Amino acid sequence: MQILVIEDSDILRSSLINGLNDAGYSVQGAADGKVGLWTALEFEFDLIILDIMLPQLNGFELLEQLRNNARSSLVLMLTARDDVDDRVLGLRSGANDYLTKPFNFDELLARVEALLRRRAGFASNIIELNGIALNLNTKEVRIDNTIVRIPPREYCLLECLMLHKGTVVSREMIEQKIYDDAIELKSNVVDSAISSLRKLIDQPKKPSRIVTRRGHGYQIQ
Amino acid sequence: MSYSIRQQTTWAVVASISVLTTLFCVASYWVNRAILVHNFDEDLLLEFQSISSVARIWPDGDFYIDLDFDVATQYNAGGSRYFQAWNIELTDVIDRSPFIESTDSQWPLPTPTVTSEPVFSNMTVGEKTVRVVIQTIDAQWGWAEQQPDLEVADDIQDFSLVLMVGRDRDSLNNALFELGVWTALIGLTLVALSWAIVNHLVTRGMKTFALMSNKIEKIATTEESIPEDDWPDEIQPVVTTLNQLLARIDASVQRMRRFTADAAHELRTPLAELRLVTDVALRTPDNNERMRDAVQQANQLSHSMANMVNAMLHLARFQSGRHHPPLTDVSIDMPQFIQTVLDQYMPFISQRNQRVLFESAPPLTRMLDTDLCHIIFSNLISNATAYAPGGTTIRIALASTENGFVFTLENKVENIEPDDLEHFTQPFWRKGESRHQRDHVGLGLALVSEASQLMNLSLRFSLTDAHTLRCTLT
């Protein structure tokens, strides 16, 4: 999952990036409104954590331009302003949620997860499919009621496939969801991850749960 | 000690009316009394003239008051009128009214001297109180009608006598008594009426205060005011003044509310940073490097917040009006002082690739407070270095004047409009909404302004051109 943090406070921005990275998200940061808008328009993000009071371009203006450019990334607004009017304005400008500073990081994480889950059309934190149960909050994976330890890269891939269960996920989408800019993509990195995941979740002598759709991508069944 | 305006006003007015009424009643009594006595005396004088017209002397020297029968009854016993005549030498009583004769007595002369002018006097004889008139008169010639040509001795013809005619004073006394009673009753009635009327009017007038008090009681917030319509002319200024007071209080409350909200708002960002950096670090307790960074950042944040709280406390103290710096003749080497402040910011100035041109003046000795001077110059220089774009020049000049100095500081600015200048010294004001400059929470220039006022210095901001801000301190 790709998250963009647009926040002018260095400490807040770096802490959010660290915390969200620890939670398994791929996170980028921007320190002012103009850079934040450029980054948001240039790359595809699942969710943007947006501060309102930004230098160069404030959060409301940035959000307006984002929506005008048909970007449908989820937006979680962060601000020290807790007036009802500000919250209403933020939500009406196209924000999906609103969090007032100071906030608890767990709460922020829960809201991020809830937003992403809602976007994927799930009401519960647990996505189940064909004996696999994936807990979006605890990142715990159970296969036939047995906890399976899955490394972060493979977990992200599984989460991406489970969130898009029933549909084919393209290779490009997998690349975007799983890896951040710092990692140089290699041509076989997706294949390698798919292969590792299959070893972890497939049952011996049974068809793979991940089906390859040639020319289109992968689908979990 | 509480007191009632209604009671005070009522009693003051009633007391005044009582005094005036008393004076009026007494004067009225004495005037009416004088009229009554005068009328009584007039009647008595007519009576005297009537009696004197029948005081006759006869050729043989016989003298008597020749009363008609119908008149005589009034002088008889049981009557109310009296007369008595003396010879001119006052040695003998030569005639008396029947009542006096019947008592076989003579009434004394109430006055030592008698003239040809009537003299009125009061006298008490037995149980009777009598008012008398006494005068020397010439006796009427008893023969004049029947024998006008009769030759009579000269001493008979020139016979004079002293005549005293009196009347009972009972009627006069009764009239005077009634006059007194009525005057007193009217006076008391006037006082009582005045008390009732004044009390009623004052009570009615005070109802406006009760109404105003009622309206004031209903005011729940400083944003409300007393309705200004339909008040009496006397109350209208009070209502207007109270509303002006409410407006001033409201402005002060709004200022305090804004200050509190701004302060809370400014503290939110560092608190959020503190909370988040520690939250995230505590999630990975084994990550020593992150833990160390978090502690360092928390420490840095605590310093920032402490600076902000200190600035707020300074500002509150300056604005309270209770801070009176000891302005003494302190010898401050101003150029050296400013250079010292400037040196503190040199690392930051170098880091931003800025240049400082400082035109100094000879040492100045002025009535100043060193601490306040430090607050002023460090905040001005700190702001200039923080907000001037990197690579620009900051110009500082200090010149001596006859009684003071002129300090000017010029730096390049971005996005500052002329309308922004008036907000520069408002607490927590910053151009734009970003709060990323943690060391500049918008209190510095407010502090500079307050500190300048405490030292009677004038602080002015102007734009010399679209991108150059000049601060002048004189």
pLDDT at residue A93, as a whole number: 80
Q: Check B268 against A80: CB less than 8 A apart.
A: yes
| DSSP notation for A1-56 | -EEEEE-S-HHHHHHHHHHHHHTT-EEEEESSHHHHHHHHHHS--SEEEEESS-SS
Q: Check B271 against A101: CB less than 8 A apart.
A: yes
Chain B: give the shortest CA distance to residue A79, in Å: 8
Chain B residue with Cα closest to A17: B280
- pLDDT beneath 50, residues of chain B: none
Chain B: give the shortest CA distance to residue A195, in Å: 30
Residue-wise pLDDT for A175-205, tens only, equals: 776 665 545 555 677 888 888 888 888 888 8
Q: Tally Cβ neighbours within 10 Å of residue B370.
A: 11
Q: What is the pTM for the complete model shown?
A: 0.56
Mean pLDDT across chain A = 84
pLDDT at residue B24, as a whole number: 92
**Count of CB contacts below 8 A, A vs B?**
75
Q: Order of strands, edge to edge, in the sheet holding B140-141?
A: B63-65, B55-57, B140-141
**DSSP-derived secondary structure letter, B235:** T
Chain B residue with Cα closest to A102: B272
Please name the residue ranges forming H helices in B284-408: 288-319, 334-351, 370-387
Residues in chain B with CB shorter than 8 Å from the CB of A16 are 276, 280
For residue A49, which of A82, A22, A20, A83 has the smallest C-alpha distance?
A20
E-state strands within B152-217: 160-168
pLDDT at residue A221, as a whole number: 80
* Whole-number Å distance between alpha carbons of B80 and B168: 5
The domain B236-319 is placed in CATH, from the list 1.10.1740.10, 1.10.287.130, 1.10.10.10, 1.10.3720.10, at: 1.10.287.130
- Tell me the percentage of chain A whose pLDDT exceeds 90: 16
Q: Which CATH architecture has domain A126-220?
A: Orthogonal Bundle (1.10)
Chain A residue with Cα closest to B280: A19
On whether the CB atoms of residues A155 and A118 are closer than 8 A, the answer is: no
* Identity of the amino acid at B352: R
For testing the chain B interface, which of A7, A9, A83 should be mutated: the one with the most B CBs within 10 Å? A9
Residue-wise pLDDT for A66-92, tens only, equals: 888 888 889 999 877 777 887 788 788
pLDDT at residue B461, as a whole number: 84
Class of CATH domain A2-120: alpha beta
Both tokens assigned to B35: 């009229």
Chain A residue with Cα closest to B432: A55
Of B279, B435, B438, the CB nearest to A53: B435
* Domain ranges, ordered by start, for chain A: 2-120, 126-220
Pairing of strands B405-412, B393-400: antiparallel
Residues in chain A with CB shorter than 8 Å from the CB of B433 are 52-54, 58
* Whole-number Å distance between alpha carbons of B151 and A164: 173
Chain A: give the shortest CA distance to residue B437, in Å: 8
* Domain ranges, ordered by start, for chain B: 5-177, 236-319, 328-473
Interface residues of B toward A, Cβ cutoff 8 Å, are 265, 268-269, 271-277, 279-280, 283-284, 290, 297, 301, 432-436, 438
* Identity of the amino acid at A201: I
pLDDT at residue A182, as a whole number: 46
* Whole-number Å distance between alpha carbons of B415 and B359: 27
Q: What value does the mean pLDDT take over residues A126-137?
A: 82
Both tokens assigned to B44: 């008595």
Q: Check B436 against A9: CB less than 8 A apart.
A: yes
Contacts from B295-298 at CB under 8 Å and sequence distance 24+?
A: B297/A11, B297/B273, B298/B274
The topology (CATH level 3) of B328-473 is: Heat Shock Protein 90 (3.30.565)
Q: What are phi and psi of A50, to 5 degrees?
A: -120, 125
* Whole-number Å distance between alpha carbons of B180 and B30: 9
Chain A residue with Cα closest to B279: A105
Q: Check B269 against A19: CB less than 8 A apart.
A: no
